[in-house]
Structure 1
Amino acid sequence: MLRLITSLSIASLLISANSFAAEITLTAPDNFVLKADYYPSKSKVKTENNRAVLMLHQCNYNRTMYDNIGEQLAQHSIHALSLDFRGFGESINSDFNVADIQKLPQAERREAWSNMSSHWPQDVQIAFDYLKEKVGSNGKLGVIGASCGGSQAITLAEKEKISAISFFSSSQRDENIAHYGKTLIATPTLIIASEDDGRTYTSAQKLFSTAKHPNSKMISYKGNMHGYPLLDSDAALEETIVTWFANELKK
């Protein structure tokens, strides 16, 4: 909800000379500070500024993996926001920091991770609400989730209307695939996965076989690259993702 967005400094809205992104601060109900990059639509036509994409990173990276995609979406008149999950990137504090969690013994690490990730659905909702305010009541919003971010996208879709969704090297449990079948089966879906990326690829196949929208698409790669490295290996992938969202969100 918009009431959850309690802190947004004027300074955070300054766009650097080298990027379309404005670094923003979103504050959760427990006063945890979340960092995100917001890429405002570059269109000067007000009626064209009713589309947005929320970008959720993989769990061995941070929000910067979407720098180029965010800028390209903005150039296509689409608002974009890339969120650092709680515990990652600049969304950290003494209680939530993935670097510290990784140093813990296995049992403690599992408990700390579970505690940290339990906050993610609410944190993602705050970021989504920020974009909803930008596009208005008749706006169309899409979500891309890389790896663990894909699960958060499915959780979000159980409460919000998603107009287009992309799973980027995102392994899904059977439970999440079932949730997809209930809430997203008729939603345009872009699925990206490497053939030797284990469960990521087999679950991608299951998701794609479930998808019913005629514009749903699956892109497969040889090898086992997972998420971000695919953007480096295929210079056309970023443009493919951006063009797909641009086409689906304008319908």
Structure 2
Amino acid sequence: MRLQGVTKAFGGVPAVDAIDLTIAAGSFYGIVGPNGAGKTTTLSMIAGLLRPDSGTISVAGVDLKAQPRRAKRQMGILPDRLRTFDRLTGRQLLHYYGVLRGLRASVVESRIADLARAFDLTDALGRTVSDYSAGMTKKLMLAGAMIHSPRVLVLDEPFESVDPVSSAVILDILTAYVEHGGTVVLSSHGMELVERVCSGLAVIVAGHVLAEGTVDEVRGERTLEERFIELAGGISDVEGLEWLHTFSD
């Protein structure tokens, strides 16, 4: 995946400002930054959900603007704010995702069974999605993103609201996916997780890439969290809150 000079503004205010990124096939790549830094906007443009004001994005050698349908077929998407048809059952929703991607019904049903088993959702497939917990919904949506066997997974906060056991299951599935040649591009606030699993990352602050490369190159002699805090502008000033320590009666 390659981004060249990608820019996006809202109301004249730049959210992403002329960023360049190259993400190798078969990599586990993290995009990190403080809230409002432009991470979700960047991932939304990669996924084809937003159109850049300028610049180019290519996925597996396919220009996203020139051949959007072909480029999008290469990708599976997990958006930041989960919007789904929650009155469907889990099985119905996965079936919808599969046929939407052009898979035969028999193939869809086979893959639903495999994905449900892998994500520990088999017993929940007959329930409506509105009854799922946040973590279960995220696992279901990730299964839907993978059902057509894409080359690239674009995941916005895939571990948010997910319990540790489910996080470990998701991580195992994604790790095996990358080991077999798939590419994962994710955003996360979990620096320890990014440091542990990602082969490369970019730190985005105020719409600019301030650091990019392997995890070792970005963090230097520090932990990734320390380096991230430095790039993000340090810790905010807490002076003036002395009144908070007096306590009300």
TM over 0.5, yes or no? no
- Structure that is richer in strand per residue: 2
Which one scores higher on RCO, CA 8 angstroms, separation ≥ 6? 2
Give the TM-score taking structure 2 as reference length: 0.31
